Structure 1
C-alpha cells in the first residue's frame, strides 16, 4: 500500500481527527475540564472532517470524487478554524469586555429557537475565554486552530493534486 496514496492520506486524516476528539474527551472526562459551547462546536467540525476523511478512505474514489471529499473536509476545517479563531480572540479580550456567561448548551437547545442558540454560541461568552489548560504555552483553542489549519492544507493538497 502506497503511503502517499489519496486513500492512505485520507485514512491518516481520519486518525488525526479521531485523536483530536479523543484528546478532547480525555480532557473532559479524565482531567475534568468542561467544554464551553465553542469547544463543542469545534468537536462537531472535527467529527465532520473525520467522517468525510473516513468515507474517502473507504470509498477510494477517482479524482473527481476525491475532490468532492476534499472539498467537504476543507469546508469542515474552515468552519472549525473560524470557531477556534473566534475563541482565541475571546481569550485575548480584557475581562470587562467579555460577553456574559451563557446557560448550558442543552438548556439553550430546549428553550431557544435553533437559530438563536447558534447565534449565542458563535457570539461566545466569558466561559469560552477562560484558559484552563495549556501545552507548550498554547491553549486548547490555539491547538485546535493549528489542527484545523493543517486539515485545511491537507484538503487543499487533495483538492489540487494530480492523479
Structure 2
C-alpha cells in the first residue's frame, strides 16, 4: 500500500479545514447558533489552517515546505488547546465560577471583537463559551473541533516526518 505524499496530506488538511469552516458557517445560520469568542477563534484557526496547508501543498518541496508544515502543525496545536479549554469550560457545573468572559478582555476576545466589526457574518461572537449548545453523536461542537484539530495535527506530523524522504518506489519485478 503506497504511503501518501506530504503534498497529498497537506491538500487533505486544507480541504478538511475548509470544509469545517463552511460547515461552521452553515450550522450557525441554519440552526441560529450563537457562537462564543472561543468558537469564532477556532473558526479563524481553521481558516488559517486551510490557507497554510494549501500553501504547503503548493510549495511542498524544500525548506519552505518544511517551515509551512511546522506552521500548520503549530496552528493545529493552538486550535487543539483552544478546543480543549472550551470543552473544559462546557463540562463545569453552573455553580463553578468558570467563564471565558472576564472583567478585562483577553487578546483573543479583542481580536474576535475587531474581526466581528469588520466581517460580522464570519466573526461575530454572540454566545457564551461555557454553554454546551447542540450535540452530534454525543460530541459538542467544541469536542468535534477538538477531534478535527487533533486529526490535522497528527496528519501534519506525519507529513513532516515524510518530508524530504524519497518517494516509496517499488522495484519492477521484470527488471534484470
TM-score of the superposed pair, with normalisation by structure 2: 0.74
Correspondence for 1:107: none
Correspondence for 1:139: 140
**Alpha-carbon offset, residue 70 of structure 1:** 1.3
Tell me how far apart the structure 1 counterparts of residues 99 and 36 of structure 2 sit (CA, whole Å). Answer: 13
After superposition, residues 123-162 of structure 1 pair within 5 angstroms as 127-161=128-162, 162=165
4+ residue runs of structure 1 moved beyond 3 angstroms?
A: 98-103
Tell me how far apart the structure 2 counterparts of residues 3 and 156 of structure 1 sit (CA, whole Å). Answer: 14
CA 1:58–1:120 in 2, change beyond 3 Å: closer, same or farther?
A: closer
Q: Does 1:95 align with 2:83?
A: no
**Alpha-carbon offset, residue 120 of structure 1:** 5.6
Tell me how far apart the structure 1 counterparts of residues 26 and 40 of structure 2 sit (CA, whole Å). Answer: 14
Tell me how far apart the structure 2 counterparts of residues 59 and 100 of structure 1 sit (CA, whole Å). Answer: 41
Q: Give SS of 2:4's match.
A: coil
CA 1:146–1:23 in 2, change beyond 3 Å: closer, same or farther?
A: same
Q: Give SS of 1:127's match.
A: coil
In structure 2, the gaps of 5 or more residues are: 111-126, 167-176
Tell me how far apart the structure 1 counterparts of residues 49 and 68 of structure 2 sit (CA, whole Å). Answer: 9
Correspondence for 1:41: 41
Q: Give SS of 1:86's match.
A: helix
**Alpha-carbon offset, residue 101 of structure 1:** 7.3
**Alpha-carbon offset, residue 18 of structure 1:** 0.7
**Native 8 Å contact 2:52 2:72 kept in 1:** yes
Q: Which has the greater radius of gyration? A: 2
Q: Does 1:117 align with 2:106?
A: yes
In structure 1, the gaps of 5 or more residues are: 104-111
Tell me how far apart the structure 1 counterparts of residues 100 and 52 of structure 2 sit (CA, whole Å). Answer: 33
Which one is further off, 83-92 or 153-162? 153-162
Tell me how far apart the structure 2 counterparts of residues 50 and 78 of structure 1 sit (CA, whole Å). Answer: 14
**Alpha-carbon offset, residue 4 of structure 1:** 2.1
